[in-house]
Each structure stands twice: as structure tokens, then as C-alpha cells.
Amino acid sequence: MFVLVNLKAYDCDPVEIAEAARDVSDDSGVRVGVAPQAAHLERVAETGVETWAQHVDPVEHGSHTGTVHAESAADAGATGTLLNHSERRLKLADVDGALRAAERAGLETCVCANDPDQIGAAAALGPDAVAVEPPALIGTGTPVSQADPEVVEGAVDAAAAVDDAVDVYCGAGISTGEDVDAAGDLGATGVLLASGVAKADGPRAALQDLVSGV
């Protein structure tokens, strides 16, 4: 099971959370990653935690002011990247281009999508993983694995029908170890969450709870 914590642009200490995630991963043997703001990638990577970019753009070296360049993210210490998060939607051609950019940079990739149909389309582009995240549940504390488990099962089936090598992660509302267990029972091999850790009073305790049943 992979636990990937997206810090979004929350008012939190990315290094504190990264250090907690590193320690919890080392202690539990569970894979835990952190996706900070681009400006914090290097600081987070220096903690030794698995570090992901929140996004990269479909660009090569050149005149692309304001973009997130995949090779630069990798140089800063990122080993993976999210793409097409519901808060950073891309056109299909741009998802494909960003995947190619990430591959050039040696970044692992996870493409987010709303439902099983979109998961199938995303899987066809050849990412390492896809994450199903119904937008209505993001940040609510109500996990999709409980609110609508058929969406997770359908996403797993849709990805497998296209390419069974593509992992399926479960996002939206994940905040407890029970949620992680439920996602695994439905066939997910990872979870994607944000506020459950980034906005927690005690991020380390939140992370320990997340991995407790794995």
C-alpha cells in the first residue's frame, strides 16, 4: 500500500510533515510519499522522504515562463508526479504530453480522474498509476471507499481492462487507517490524501493511524 500525502497550498510546515512521513514509513515499512509545493521540493527531498511533484507541465527546455518543468522537478529531488488533479485539470493531449515529460525526467506518474470511465481513458495513456477521486468528496472527510465503493471497484476494473500493470489509488476523503484498509479491500494499491495530514493538529499521529492496519 502506498500512502501519498498532497500538501496542496495548505498553511503547513512541509519539512515537519516530510520528516514525520519519513519516520513513519521507516518504522512501519509502509511506503509513504509527500507532494509539496514546487518551491518546497528540494527542502522536502532533503529529509529523505519519497518526494512527489504536485504537477508538471508538458514542456521541454525553452521559453515556458511559469511552468513546472519535469526535469527541474527531478533535479530538485522529486521521484514522481501527480497529473490532472481535480484542482489542476488538463486537456487529454496535455495529460499525454505531461506523461511523456515525466518519463523523460524519470519520474513515476499518477494520473487523477473522477470516475471509472475517466480512469480507463487515463490508464490507456500509460501512467504508472491512476487515482480515482470524485471531486464532490475531496476534503470532506467522507472517503469514497465508504460513500461510493462501487466507484473504486469500477476504477480497478476499468484500469485492469486497459492495462493490468497500472496501479489504482483511491483518493477523496481518506483520513484514517480504517479508510486505507477499506480502499485496499476494494482493490486499490494506494491512497491519495491531503487535509487528513496537512491540516491535522498532529501530522505524525495522523500518519501513524493511516498506516496502522497495513
Number of separate helices (H) and strands (E) present in the chain:
10, 8
DSSP state of 11: S
User: What domains can be seen in the chain, in order of their start residue?
Assistant: 2-59+66-163+195-211 (3.20.20.70)
pTM over 0.85: yes
Give the model confidence (pLDDT) of 86-133 as tens digits: 999 999 999 999 999 999 999 999 999 999 999 999 999 999 999 998
**Of residues 19, 50, 108, 133, which has the active-site annotation?**
133
Determine whether 19 is an active site residue: no
Determine whether 69 is an active site residue: no
Give the model confidence (pLDDT) of 66-91 as tens digits: 999 999 999 999 999 999 999 999 99
| Beta-bridge partners for 32 | 3
What is the maximum alpha-carbon separation in the chain?
A: 47
CB contact set of 14 (below 8 Å; sequence gap of 6+): 7, 34, 36, 37, 40, 43, 44
**Of residues 40, 55, 69, 85, which has the active-site annotation?**
85
Of 208, 204, 212, 193, the residue nearest 3 (C-alpha): 193
